[in-house]
Amino acid sequence: MKSVILAGGFGKRLKPLTDTIPKSLIDVDGKPILVRQLEWLRKHDIVEIILCIGHLKEKIVKYMGDGKQFGVTIDYVIEEKPLGTGGALLNAKHHLINEDHFIVLNGDVITTLNPKELIKKIDTNYGILSLVPLRSPYGIVNVDQNMQIKNFTEKPLLRSHLINAGVYCLKPNIFNYLQNKTNIESVGFPEIAKENKLAAVQFNKCFWKSIDGFKDIEEAEKGIKNISAEK
């Protein structure tokens, strides 16, 4: 089974670091994000990897090579100009069109969710999204009906609000809905949802973090250390 990692972005919120280091190679607790992703995929028996790369692509190719040192095989698909997540995936169509289904992963996600749970649900759908509860960026103040403060909760998971975790299982039908220079989240998924061909799996107990800014690196490192301590 194949997996596509969308790692072509500029990582603008991580400047000036990403002026010289591709976002996917940023170190998080001793390992680049991309290496952590390959280890996670390999753990779930997914070893055929397609890397969609653009910004500082030469550095990614030099570091990752053919993937053998990480226990996988890597093929590269190059974006000469930014294509968006939808365009980047469309650019990899020739690698995927004959597959029954495949895993797609945003290049800034670190997670322990089980992608096989997505595969189980793909049969009658064109795509399965992974969803995780939204973590509040702020501490929550809990009050009673008289506005008396009862307690404080530091950045809780808001389990009634689910967000896209950036890990998908898709069928080749997806290519009929993609366009260059657009994002799959805004052009692609909404159309498929209208046809009732898009479903999801909710993950409540996994670790998940998207590395968008410097604070996310710090929070991801804390989370990884907590996972290691629990083993």
Catalytic center residues: 155
Paired strand residues for 31: 28
Distances (CA, A) of 145 to 116, 139, 149: 44, 19, 10
DSSP of 99-136, one letter per residue?
Answer: -S-EEEEETTEEE---THHHHTT-TT-SEEEEEEEEEP
For residue 183, the tally of other CB atoms under 10 A from its CB is 17
The helix or strand, by DSSP H or E, that contains position 163, with its residue range, turns out to be strand 157-170
Here the tokens at position 136 are 């509040």
